Structure 1
Amino acid sequence: MTLKKYFVYSFLAIILMSCGTKQEINYMKDIESIALDNSIKNSRSTLQPGDQLIITVTAKDLDVVKPFNQTYSSSATVTQYSVPSSNNLQQQIPVSGPTYTVDTDFNIVFPQIGKVNVKDENIEGVRSKLEGLISEYVKNPVVDAKLINFRVSVVGEVARPGTYVVPDGTTTLLGALGLAGDLTPFGIRNNVLVLRTVDGKITQSRVDLTSAQFINSPYYYLKQNDVIYVQPNSNREKAARVDPNTGLYISVASVLASLVIGVLALVKN
């Protein structure tokens, strides 16, 4: 094969590869055609054992609600993240207040009231339930409750894999991916895996980010300790199988070939 033909064939090969099918990277292309009604009911995560709540009670007369604010924790600093955020930088947010942990039976122990069952309740449900119970003792109480240890993990083909503590205990699948810096160009967007623990059992679901249908899925709004795994595409897998020293080997081989050609040229002369 002449040198001219070699360059022609190489050029044609590059053109053909560049014309190959491109991976779909758009999200929810048909968003306008999908109703959002079904997603609203999943917008708040129900509480799980191990969840930590800061609950404070106020009223017009603050003295009368003091007995309901007895379990006071020392001030602590919690690393949380803004959702959404343009730069996704972590924030050190000081958190302090009466802290309660949901036990294995979904109970919290509240001053003056005792055990309060919060199974199947979200944050709003806890506020409403406690206001109802406290109103037997205090007129028009106001309860503020915050979930301070809501965590989700994002791994695989994302820019910043890791575990994220989300303020207010609510985020969506897209919000969590945003915290992780979005998918890399090598991430498969139509087959994202979400792992979730429900009543001690691990469940899983595959999500197609290129279709708006997934916003009606129970996996659109994330729950405590959800794990998101973004699978690499075939290009990434092929690259991973390539020896990282391949470039070095090629360079060494090129140098040796040049030396051999030089030696042969000297011998012929």
Structure 2
Amino acid sequence: MKLYLRYSLFLGIFSIFLLLMSSCESRKNMVYLQPDSTKINTLYEQFVPKIQPNDILTIVVTAADPKVTAPFNPVSTMTSGTISQAADMAMRPVYTVDNQGYITLPMLGKIKIAGLTRIEAIEKLRSELSQYIKEPGVNMNFNNFRVSVLGEVARPGSFVMPSERVTVLEALGMAGDLTIRGMRHNVMIIREIDGKKSTHRLDLTKEEALNSKYYYLAQNDVIYVEPNKAQINSSKLGANSNIFISVASLLITVISVLTR
């Protein structure tokens, strides 16, 4: 009986040890943006996303006299007081940037805007329109500014952003934040520019992450959060824990029978 109790105690201590090993994590690996000697000088204007081929844009031309804009807006944007906002958005002209970086607008023809920021593209279109319209206005928005968040987050998935000014922290917030098992010091950003993919890793536990050119996201960025060592170890243990427990239980049963 004493031997049985010893083995039971050993099994209990071993189980507690496994739980502690799979759950312990230090504060420095958990807290975001811990103070350091880095000077924070992040400016959104330095990292504004550029228009890329296959981007989908909503472009509406405006003017003091709405009638003169009709040839430039294939679908009328004139709305009544009862039309819903969703219906109004659905009526606005949509353009896809082709593989060479051009869009084709009524009257203006093909105009290259890939490589420009949204503000730069607006100014270019206004310049082209000024030969037809006095003091034209241009409203342009991304329809496909989407980022994906994968890995150790509460709600992984793809998210359409309301504007192009979005940070990695905002995207992670939309995904429900990292779980306690996510590696905050090694978050991967996958970005495609001119058809070529590149990766960069951010240490979100340090303030210097705010200065990274990847802190502000571009369209179609993918954020991947790796599991930490505790999660990896627990997954390994989880695959074999049932076997270990079954074998240990069998040994204890056999020993208890033999020592009676």
Interval of TM-score (by shorter of Structure 1 and Structure 2): 0.7 to 0.9
Matched, 1:152 2:147: yes
Equivalent positions of 1:135-214 (< 5 A) are: 135-214=130-209
CA root-mean-square deviation = 3.3
Residue in 1 that maps onto 2:129:
134
| Structure-2 separation of matches of 1:241 and 1:102 | 47
Are the structure 2 counterparts of residues 254 and 190 from structure 1 closer, same or farther at C-alpha, using a change threshold of 3 Å?
A: same
| Structure-1 separation of matches of 2:141 and 2:44 | 22
Letter in 2 for 1:70: P
Residue in 2 that maps onto 1:76:
none
Are the structure 2 counterparts of residues 31 and 116 from structure 1 closer, same or farther at C-alpha, using a change threshold of 3 Å?
A: farther
Please state whether the residue corresponding to 1:169 is helix, strand or coil: coil
Equivalent positions of 1:1-269 (< 5 A) are: 10=13, 22-23=26-27, 24-30=29-35, 34-42=39-47, 44-70=48-74, 95-96=89-90, 97-244=92-239, 246-247=241-242, 250=245, 254=249, 257-258=252-253, 261=256
C-alpha contact 2:61 2:69 (8 A) present in aligned 1: yes
C-alpha contact 2:97 2:114 (8 A) present in aligned 1: no
Residue in 2 that maps onto 1:83:
none
Listed one character per residue, the Cα deviations across residues 163-219 of structure 1 (whole Å, up to 9, x for unaligned) are 211122331111111111111111111111111112221111111111121222111
| Structure-1 separation of matches of 2:63 and 2:151 | 48
C-alpha contact 1:195 1:205 (8 A) present in aligned 2: yes
- How far off its partner does 1:254 sit? 3.2
- How far off its partner does 1:146 sit? 1.0
- How far off its partner does 1:242 sit? 2.1
Are the structure 2 counterparts of residues 126 and 39 from structure 1 closer, same or farther at C-alpha, using a change threshold of 3 Å?
A: closer
> Percent identity, aligned pairs only?
39
C-alpha contact 2:53 2:114 (8 A) present in aligned 1: no
| Structure-1 separation of matches of 2:248 and 2:38 | 58
Return structure 1 stretches of 4+ with deviation > 3 angstroms.
1-4, 37-40, 251-261
Of structures 1 and 2, the one scoring higher in RCO (CA 8 A, sep 6+) is 2
Residue in 2 that maps onto 1:79:
none
C-alpha contact 1:39 1:218 (8 A) present in aligned 2: no
| Structure-2 separation of matches of 1:72 and 1:51 | 22
| Structure-2 separation of matches of 1:109 and 1:246 | 62
Please state whether the residue corresponding to 1:242 is helix, strand or coil: helix
Letter in 2 for 1:208: D
| Structure-1 separation of matches of 2:210 and 2:59 | 31
| Number of residues of Structure 1 aligned to a counterpart in Structure 2 | 240
- How far off its partner does 1:38 sit? 4.2
- How far off its partner does 1:30 sit? 2.5
Q: Determine which structure has the larger strand proportion and give its number.
A: 1
| Structure-2 separation of matches of 1:21 and 1:243 | 19
Letter in 2 for 1:232: P
Letter in 1 for 2:32: Y
C-alpha contact 1:72 1:99 (8 A) present in aligned 2: no
C-alpha contact 1:194 1:226 (8 A) present in aligned 2: yes
TM-score (norm 1): 0.77
| Structure-2 separation of matches of 1:199 and 1:207 | 22
